[in-house]
Amino acid sequence: MAKSGKITTDDIELFRRSVGPVRKIHHDKIAPAGSSQTSRPRRRAAADEPRLTDAFSDGFDSGVVTSDEALFFTRPGLQQRQLQRLKRGQLAIGAELDMHGMTAAMARSAVVNFIALCREQHIRCVRIIHGKGYGSGGSAPVLKNRINSWLRQHHDVLAFSSAQARDGGSGALYVLLRSGH
């Protein structure tokens, strides 16, 4: 650049060669916060993950369920129409958590972080795939029974229901989360 502070033709040419080809941006608007490109929340790097603690009690007795048994839970005061839509799988799924292959400890942490992330992103309805527990060695399905207990204890969970067959049947849940933050 010339000492006078003015940009010379040589400076412009050098800049264009350095930058390379460019394309014109046709607008300067950004998408509204509610219109996410992906239906799943992005995973954070382990260092960025919130250190959330949970208040889940493994001693909470919600009864033992079998692999093929359907689950349903609701807090008082929810509209019956909303619950029917949840049961039928008619609510838009905003995110999904697949717990296949996780230990109970890993699943517990994943559920707490998943729900917190969904709440941050204002996602109301999610699907959690827990599996049917056929790998539980003949006993009751471990993750299915744990998730049944944990979700009943979580204050942000308003309702949950076993999924329709097309979405995993008794191996998955539709979960309705509290709105707002």
Q: H or E stretch including 143?
A: helix 142-153
Q: Give the residue with greater pLDDT, 181 vs 22.
A: 22
- Predicted confidence band of residue 67 (pLDDT cuts 50, 70, 90): confident
Cα–Cα distance for residue pair 51/98, rounded to 1 Å:
21
Predicted confidence (pLDDT) at residue 48 exceeds the cutoff of 80 = no
Digit-coded pLDDT (tens) for 152-169: 999 999 999 999 999 999
Contact partners, residue 111, CB within 8 Å, separation at least 6: 54, 97, 99, 128, 147, 150, 151, 154
Mean pLDDT of the chain: 82
Q: Judge whether 127 and 114 are in contact, CB under 8 Å.
A: no
Q: Judge whether 134 and 151 are in contact, CB under 8 Å.
A: no
Cα–Cα distance for residue pair 45/121, rounded to 1 Å:
17
Q: Give the residue with greater pLDDT, 127 vs 24.
A: 127
Q: What are phi and psi of 161, to 5 degrees?
A: -150, 145
**What is residue 158's predicted lDDT score, i.e. its pLDDT?**
97
Q: Judge whether 142 and 65 are in contact, CB under 8 Å.
A: no
Q: What is the arithmetic mean of pLDDT over 105-110?
A: 94
- Predicted confidence band of residue 19 (pLDDT cuts 50, 70, 90): confident
Q: What is the arithmetic mean of pLDDT over 56-73?
A: 77
The full set of domains in the chain, from first to last, is: 70-177 (3.30.1370.110)
Q: Give the residue with greater pLDDT, 1 vs 119.
A: 119
Predicted confidence (pLDDT) at residue 23 exceeds the cutoff of 60 = yes
- CA dihedral of 23, 24, 26, 30, whole degrees rounded to 10: 70
Cα–Cα distance for residue pair 89/47, rounded to 1 Å:
35
Buried b / exposed e over 149-172, threshold 16 CB at 10 Å, is bbbeebebbbbbbbbeeebbebbb
- Predicted confidence band of residue 47 (pLDDT cuts 50, 70, 90): very low
Predicted confidence (pLDDT) at residue 121 exceeds the cutoff of 50 = yes
